[in-house]
Amino acid sequence: MKIDIKKLAQRLANDATISDYEFWRALKTVDDQLYRIDRQHRPIPIDLVFVREIIRRARRKRLQR
């Protein structure tokens, strides 16, 4: 399955039902999970990396408005 990160981030950035706080909280949660996985020397799921990038881009686009 191919994920269009740019398109999905744009859609999330334009979604008025998602608050800036929810973006920040989601990014913090993903970063915490990645940190825990790294500390346990486990392989990092690629899906989690994609989620982090989508949230980062959406947040950036939201802040540019």
pLDDT of residue 1: 57
The list of the chain residues with pLDDT below 50 reads none
**pTM of this structure:** 0.86
Domain that holds residue 32: 5-64
pLDDT of residue 3: 76
Please give the C-alpha separations between residue 38 and each of 7, 43, 60, in angstroms, as whole numbers. Answer: 29, 8, 25
Q: Give the count of domains, the chain.
A: 1
Tokens of 8: 């999905």
